[in-house]
Amino acid sequence: MIIFLSVLFTLVGLTSAVLVVTNKTPMNGALFLIVTLFTVAANYVLLTAEFLAAVQIIVYAGAIMVLIVFVIQLIGFHPVASALQKQTPLALVVVSLVFVQVAFFTLRSLPELTSEAPLAGPTLDHAHSFSQLLFTKYLVPFEIASVLLLVAILGTVLLAQHKGVRE
C-alpha cells in the first residue's frame, strides 16, 4: 500500500512539475508548483519523515510560494514565445536525460523498497537532532540563505518600481 501511494504521489508530482514548466500563465504555474510541493511532502510522510513534511508545507508551499506569487503579481511577467520555441529541442534532450536517470536510480533501489525491513517510527529525537544541527553547525549557511532571499525580494521590488517609473 505504501509503494502504491508513493507511486501515485510521485506521478501526480511529476505531472504537476511538467505543467509548471509548460504552462503559459505564470500564476497557474505557481499553483501547479504548490501541488508539486505538497506531493513531495506526502512522500516525506510515507517515509516517516513528518518533520520534513511539515517544513516542506510551511516553508516552501507556504512562505516561499507567497513570495513567488507576490513577485509574479508585482512584475506582471509576460513570457516571450519566440525564446521558448528556440529552447524546445534542448529542453527535450534534458528532460529525456533526467527521465533516464530517475528510471535508473528507481530500478536500482527497487529491491530495497520491497524488502521486509520495518520502517523506523517517528520520534522527537529526529526533530531535536535536526534542529540542533541547523542552529549550531549550519547556522551561518542558514542565515546566508535568509539574507539572499531578502536581497532577492528587495531587488524585485526595486525592479518593479523602476519599471513603473518608465511607463
d(CA 24, CA 81): 9
pLDDT at residue number 114: 54
**Is the pLDDT confidence value at 39 over 90?**
yes
Q: SS3 letters for 69-131? A: HHHHHHHCCCCCHHHHHHHHHHHHHHHHHHHHHHHHHHHHHHHHHCCCCCCCCCCHHHHHHHH
Task: Give tens-digit pLDDT for 106-139.
Answer: 777 766 555 555 555 555 567 777 788 878 888 8
Q: Where are the domains of the chain?
A: 2-122, 123-167
Q: Which long-range contacts (CB under 8 A, 24 or more apart) does 151-156 make?
A: 153/67, 153/71, 156/71, 156/74, 156/75
Which has the minimum average pLDDT: 3-17, 72-86, 89-103? Answer: 72-86
Q: Which CATH architecture has domain 2-122?
A: Up-down Bundle (1.20)
